Amino acid sequence: MENGNITFFTFILLGFSNHPHLEIALFLVVSIIYGVTLFGNFFIIILIGLDSCLHTPMYFFLSNLAFLNICYTSAVVPKMLINFLAVRKTISYTLCIAQVYTTLFLGAAECLLLLVMAFDRYIAICNPLHYVTTMDKKVCLSLALGAWIISFLLVIPAFIMTPSLCSSTIDHLFCEVPVMLQLACPNADTSISEILMVTGSTLTLLMPLVLILLSYVRIIITVFRISSADGKRKAFSTCSAHITVVTIYYGSGMFMYMRPKAGYSAEKDKLISLFYSVINPMLNPIIYSLRNKDVKEALLKVLERTKAFYQE
């Protein structure tokens, strides 16, 4: 990356350089959260694989989400932890660009997976008699693959149209699109990149969110038509975890990618990025475990089998 006769082979990530004591505390906290994130999401994937009762569309999509959470946080956190303790907080050009487009791809994939999960709940509650035939293995696999492939295709134009950069100092915790656009050369035309970011945000954030909201409006109408209180409770309980995850993820994502330029604050953006890149992947398995009876029962079965194995 060139600026006159200067070639950038590395970037400097400022992070919280002005608050060294905060960085030490963050290293400890983020290390613990990262460990919990890996354990929780691997636990969800393994549990779903071991228990045949969880071999349903809902848990198939949940295992995809857990795998995505592992990939997303692993693309960001290890280098972030190193830089928290490093005197010179650098990142190579190659790794920086990889972070930009990996997080963009995985972020888009999560939005679409959450939409697919909302569609699954919509069919289960609004068309229960056709659920088994509608959400068969072929359809589930197609929906999951579609979410991954579409997300990858949406990232390609942004990668091709990467603007020329004239600064190697990034006032952020890791490399992602909004902060990289701020490094563009003064004479560089970033309008296309900005249009691509807004278009991509609309396709992967706004449109899926609208469809999710519409599906839940239909679900709520259907639930209120259920005569039994127990039926209503079961219907709402199957959706509560998903609604919580959607609210947390879309709230932070829209703040970062769809806010006006006038609302920019480097420190605020760092905190928001910490939330959706570090905390959110940890919360997902916790939310789905604590609010899900099937997951709790599957865990008890595994614990009983493990106990019986060691008693033999």
Provide the terminal-to-terminal Cα distance of the chain, rounded to the nearest Å.
63
Q: Provide the residue-wise pLDDT of the chain in tens; the chain has 312 residues.
A: 444 434 467 888 888 877 778 888 999 999 999 999 999 999 999 999 988 888 999 999 999 999 999 999 999 999 999 999 888 888 898 898 899 889 989 999 999 999 999 999 999 999 988 999 999 999 999 999 999 999 998 888 777 766 677 777 888 888 887 777 777 776 655 566 667 666 766 777 788 899 999 999 999 998 888 877 777 787 777 788 888 889 888 887 777 666 665 556 777 778 888 888 899 999 888 888 766 778 888 888 877 877 776 766
- Strands 169-170 vs 10-13: parallel, antiparallel or unpaired: parallel
- The DSSP symbol for 184 reads B
How far apart are the C-alpha atoms of 95 and 81, rounded to whole Å?
A: 15
How far apart are the C-alpha atoms of 105 and 223, rounded to whole Å?
A: 35
- The DSSP symbol for 219 reads H
Q: What is the structure's pLDDT at 242?
A: 87
- Please give the model's pTM, rounded to 2 decimal places: 0.86
